[in-house]
Amino acid sequence: MPLAQVLTVLEIVWASGRAGIQNSMRELFHDPGLGGAAFIVLAVLVGAFVKGYSGFGASMMWVASLSLVLPPHRVVPMVLLWEVCSSLQLLPEVWRKIEWRSVGWLLVGACIATPVGAYALSVVSANSIRISIGLIVFAGSYLIWRGFVWRGETRPSAIVAVGTAFGLLNGSTALGGPPVILFYLATPTGAAVGRASIIAFFLATDALAAAAQAVAGVLSLTTVLAAALLLPVMVLGTWVGARHFLATGPENFKQFSLLLLMTLGLIVLIRASM
């Protein structure tokens, strides 16, 4: 085939591909306008900064903010992809600090209890579960703020119990993170080890959730393209947050994490009461 024909074919393929991507973006974002687009970018940037700094909290912020301007059923799969990508971005930095023993036992409990949590949602009202989560998160964060520390050895049975709590809550409301975060904040592992282990644990669980959504057909090509469009913003926010963590002390990290958890707990309580 002559070079001119090859170039013509490539131009046609590129034009059709570009048009398809533009149509997909319009379909997902529903033409939010300049102000809406700026809000989306800012929300992604702030959530990514929080994830880069603390290792958690981005999902709640992304879902709560982006759902104001985008359909929630499109937001959740996109958020899962960003969670996986941001955790992979942070993984090389934290790899040597991860406490694999505790992460492994947490995953055992999570795998056992997640299906049970999904069943519990059909028996117990979602709002009742949300109220319980909000109260537990706020009370647990406050106790640690006041100086509570996990005394003694963290035995596998205790770690599996925390993972089980995660699975029950995650399966029923997709808000399973707080027990794991409180566990690491309460144990004397140190800020760097706790943050690294939180990142590793959520990478595993978010990757499994994203794979399950792909199999179920929830994670569409349109969502993947939209998530990819905002990926540079997410990467930038995560990088800035990670640099900020390296520049601050362990106590500042703990205070920030506890304040974030208490805020999220209050948000869950407010949402449950509406």
**CB of 238 closer than 8 Å to CB of 51:** yes
Q: Please report the pLDDT score of residue 96 as a whole number.
A: 93
Q: Please report the pLDDT score of residue 4 as a whole number.
A: 54
Residue 256 has pLDDT above 90, yes or no: no
Q: From residue 36, give the alpha-carbon distance in Å to each of 41, 44, 225.
A: 9, 12, 18
User: How many alpha carbons lie under 13 Å from residue 26 in its C-beta half-sphere?
Assistant: 6
Residue 162 has pLDDT above 60, yes or no: yes
Nearest Cα neighbor of 48 from 11, 90, 14 is 90
Which whole number is the average pLDDT over 190-216? 87
Q: Please report the pLDDT score of residue 93 as a whole number.
A: 93
Residue 83 tokens read as 């969670």
- 222/123 Cα distance (integer angstroms): 34
Residue 113 has pLDDT above 50, yes or no: yes
Residue 11 has pLDDT above 60, yes or no: no
Which whole number is the average pLDDT over 146-159? 79
Q: Please report the pLDDT score of residue 13 as a whole number.
A: 42
Structure-model confidence comparison of residues 6 and 78, the more confident one: 78
Q: What is the mean pLDDT of the chain?
A: 80
- 136/148 Cα distance (integer angstroms): 15
Backbone angles phi, psi at 66, to 5 degrees: -70, -25
Query: 10 pLDDT band (50/70/90 cuts)?
Result: very low
**CB of 181 closer than 8 Å to CB of 198:** yes
DSSP code, position 146? T
**CB of 60 closer than 8 Å to CB of 156:** no
Residue 3 tokens read as 């070079």
Query: 7 pLDDT band (50/70/90 cuts)?
Result: very low
**CB of 194 closer than 8 Å to CB of 185:** yes
Rounded to two decimals, what is the model's pTM? 0.79
Residue 17 has pLDDT above 70, yes or no: no
